[in-house]
Amino acid sequence: MKKRGLTLALTVAMVSAVLAGCGGSGGGAAGSTSGGAKVVKIGVYEPASGDNGAGGKQETLGMQYANSKTPTVQIGGEEYQVELEIVDNESSNDKGPSAAASLVSSNVSVVLGSYGSGVSIAASDVFKDAGIPAIGVTCTNPQVTEGNTHYFRICFLDPFQGTVLANFANENFSAKKAYILTKLGDDYSTGLGHYFKEAFTGLGGEVVEETFQEGNSDFISYITSAKNAGADVFFAPVSTEAAALIIEQASAQGLTIPLMAGDTWDSNVILNAASGKDVQIYVTTFYQEGGNAEFDNGIKEWINADNTAKANNGGDDTIAAVTAMGYDAYYVALEALKAAGSTDPAAVNEALWKVTYSGVSGEIAFNETGDALRDVAYVKCANTQTGAWDFVAVQGVK
């Protein structure tokens, strides 16, 4: 008896869902027309909340700025209006796929993102099944592009970044022992920690590894452990949220060894947390402010003119490397659309393999796994007096 009730219930739920679906999803095919001009949609799959919300917003800003500068593109001899379809993946591996599915259902031709490797890996299959290519902007974990043909990436990878950081620690601080703190369940954090450890032990160093749970805000014990272990550097490739807490508590505990981290720390969140404190912070990153004066001035002006943009950038006009990367990613997508001569995702995917672009963060071209050919990283140091980044070195791997 109840079984039948159940079936009926499901039917009702189904029918109502279908009806709502017909009403709701009037997206039309890729490259639809709206108000005369043809439209091509680019999906932006970025976190706007959660751990990586701050970084995701900055990355999105780069894309929005690029979109405001170049709002149209020539595809197959016709002018298309470019529309950014932005969703929030909440920095969460289980919310991400649904956000990705909503991009798929709005018929985007290509997807940009995400900040954070875990969410990119988690949504990868959704894009793959829909046949939509994705361009990773700053997801540095190798697993994002490995073994698939639809995910590309314009940044360097963690094995490279980890080696650069290990070399830097070894050469500049003559570090013999490193304390590595990573976050459980964060692929970026675990991955970069792992590659750093490999490279660092390869150089004859010693490491102490510890992890923290999501939602942890008490880092005093970790800092004490690092001190007790006699570490020469404190390596913490973690989200900016945890980083701000670590910096604050490291300075309160009087930790004197340098704090080192990867690209996530290149953010004004870190600068604000470190300002006026007695800490040394070194990060590797994709772009150094001042690398391209035209871009720097343009985006600063744009950010200062728009209160929402400024708030999304953390309240000031410091240029995060991820913003520059987001900017470049947008143009790579446009190049792919032009080369494809169509808004069909499959054609764009095909075209992406051969796209080359000279962006503000350097030359971009893809290798056979879909990764950008990058061989340099910038090393920066936080200036706790001026609240800005000081350029330290351009580092490659020999």
> Binding of other proteins at residue 202 (CB under 8 A)?
no
Closest CB 366 distance from other proteins, rounded Å: 20
Of 110, 122, 192, 336, which one interacts with other proteins (CB under 8 A)? Answer: 122
Q: Which of residues 296-335 bind other proteins (CB under 8 A)?
A: 311
**152 vs 219, beta carbon nearer other proteins:** 219
> Binding of other proteins at residue 147 (CB under 8 A)?
yes
Closest CB 48 distance from other proteins, rounded Å: 5
CB neighbours of 50 closer than 8 A, spacing ≥ 6?
Answer: 90, 91, 92
Q: Which of residues 165-184 bind other proteins (CB under 8 A)?
A: 184
> Binding of other proteins at residue 12 (CB under 8 A)?
yes
**77 vs 147, beta carbon nearer other proteins:** 147
| Phi, then psi, of 186 in degrees rounded to 5 | -115, 110
Closest CB 179 distance from other proteins, rounded Å: 12
Of 32, 81, 102, 172, which one interacts with other proteins (CB under 8 A)? Answer: 102
Of 149, 172, 253, 383, which one interacts with other proteins (CB under 8 A)? Answer: 253
Of 40, 42, 44, 48, which one interacts with other proteins (CB under 8 A)? Answer: 48
Q: Which of residues 352-391 bind other proteins (CB under 8 A)?
A: none
Of 72, 81, 84, 101, which one interacts with other proteins (CB under 8 A)? Answer: 101
**213 vs 385, beta carbon nearer other proteins:** 213
Of 81, 216, 369, 383, which one interacts with other proteins (CB under 8 A)? Answer: 216
Closest CB 183 distance from other proteins, rounded Å: 8
